[in-house]
């Protein structure tokens, strides 16, 4: 698995992957954007589609934020994603997350618990939200759920986490939340801590390497494993 990282998203062999859009979260937030958070996600997704021209786009769970209702803004944002992906000539794949109890009421397409990517090599890559252990054996897993972020010089940045052989000898890639209203959970605070609400795939977090995409320089920064890197911060 050799991802390309960009703006809280990853690209692997013709597939663009985003996680935790949490459409509708803006209704519960005091943070203001010039445009709504859902519209911001759709606009940035359009830019990523132009950049990568993927064959498919996979939403890796927690498409919606609310468990018990679908705000109009969330419905509009999801419709915007469907339209934008279709107009780009790509196929949309939706994986359910633990927040997506109402997703079936708003989305008429197929919903997946797990989805196997069609990769260029022999490696099996499965996308699942990450709140539960997967049922499908794979060489690598792509998950969301944990909203990883890292603090560097007092500034919190969304990050990817890469664990080689980290889950039952399978590689794991953890995506940050695509929604910029989601601040993210500092991965440094997880060292030596037990957090049962977080992904069961992300255990032994000290072995995971943070990866940060810098939008200003458009550089991808890969850091040492957290067990080593945390001593440098």
SS (H, E, C) 97-156: CCCCCCHHHHCCCCEECEEECCCCCCCCEEEECCCCCCCCCCCEEEECCCCEEEEECCEE
pLDDT digits (tens, 9 = 90+) for 181-226: 888 888 876 655 556 568 999 988 889 999 999 988 999 999 999 8
pTM (two decimals): 0.91
pLDDT digits (tens, 9 = 90+) for 82-97: 999 999 999 999 999 8
Q: What is the DSSP string of 166-182?
A: EETTEEEEEPPBS-TT-
> What is the pLDDT at residue 34?
44
Cα distance between residue 172 and residue 174, in whole Å: 6
pLDDT digits (tens, 9 = 90+) for 19-58: 999 998 766 555 555 457 889 999 999 999 999 999 999 9
Strand order across the 155-158 sheet = 155-158, 148-152, 185-186
Residue 171 half-sphere exposure, CB side, CA atoms within 13 Å? 14
> What is the pLDDT at residue 106?
77
Q: Which residue has the higher pLDDT, 33 or 179?
A: 179
Say whether pLDDT at 166 is over 50: yes
Say whether pLDDT at 151 is over 70: yes
pLDDT digits (tens, 9 = 90+) for 97-131: 887 677 777 788 999 999 999 988 889 999 999 99
Residue 126 half-sphere exposure, CB side, CA atoms within 13 Å? 16
Cα distance between residue 136 and residue 55, in whole Å: 23
Given pLDDT bands bounded at 50, 70 and 90, which one contains residue 173?
A: very high
> What is the pLDDT at residue 174?
97
Radius of gyration of the chain (CA): 17
> What is the pLDDT at residue 1?
82
> What is the pLDDT at residue 75?
84
> What is the pLDDT at residue 169?
95
Given pLDDT bands bounded at 50, 70 and 90, which one contains residue 138?
A: very high
Determine contact, residues 174/190, Cβ cutoff 8 Å: no
Cα distance between residue 3 and residue 182, in whole Å: 23
> What is the pLDDT at residue 29?
54
CA 71 centroid distance within chain: 22
Q: Other CB atoms closer than 10 Å to residue 71's CB: what's the count?
A: 18
Domains of the chain: 4-229 (3.60.21.10)
């Amino acid at each position: 698995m050799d991802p390309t990282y960009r703006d809280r998203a990853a690209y692997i062999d013709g597939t663009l992957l985003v996680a935790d859009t949490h459409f509708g979260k803006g209704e519960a937030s005091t943070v203001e954007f010039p445009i709504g958070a859902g519209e911001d996600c759709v606009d940035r997704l359009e830019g990523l589609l132009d950049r990568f021209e993927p064959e498919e786009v996979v939403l890796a769970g927690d498409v919606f934020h609310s468990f018990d209702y679908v705000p109009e803004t969330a419905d509009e944002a999801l419709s915007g994603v469907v339209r934008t992906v279709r107009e780009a000539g790509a196929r949309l794949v939706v994986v359910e997350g633990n927040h997506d109890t109402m997703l079936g009421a708003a989305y008429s397409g197929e919903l997946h618990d797990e989805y196997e990517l069609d990769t260029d090599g022999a490696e099996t890559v499965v996308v699942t939200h990450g709140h539960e252990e997967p049922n499908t054996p794979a060489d690598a897993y792509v998950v969301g759920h944990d909203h990883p972020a890292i603090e560097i010089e007092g500034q919190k940045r969304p990050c990817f986490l890469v664990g080689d052989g980290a889950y039952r000898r399978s590689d794991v890639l953890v995506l940050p939340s695509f929604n910029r209203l989601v601040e993210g959970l500092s991965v440094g605070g997880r060292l030596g801590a037990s957090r049962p609400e977080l992904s069961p795939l992300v255990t032994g977090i000290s072995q995971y390497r943070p990866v940060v995409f810098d939008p200003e320089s458009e550089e991808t920064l890969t850091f040492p494993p957290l067990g080593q890197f945390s001593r440098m911060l």
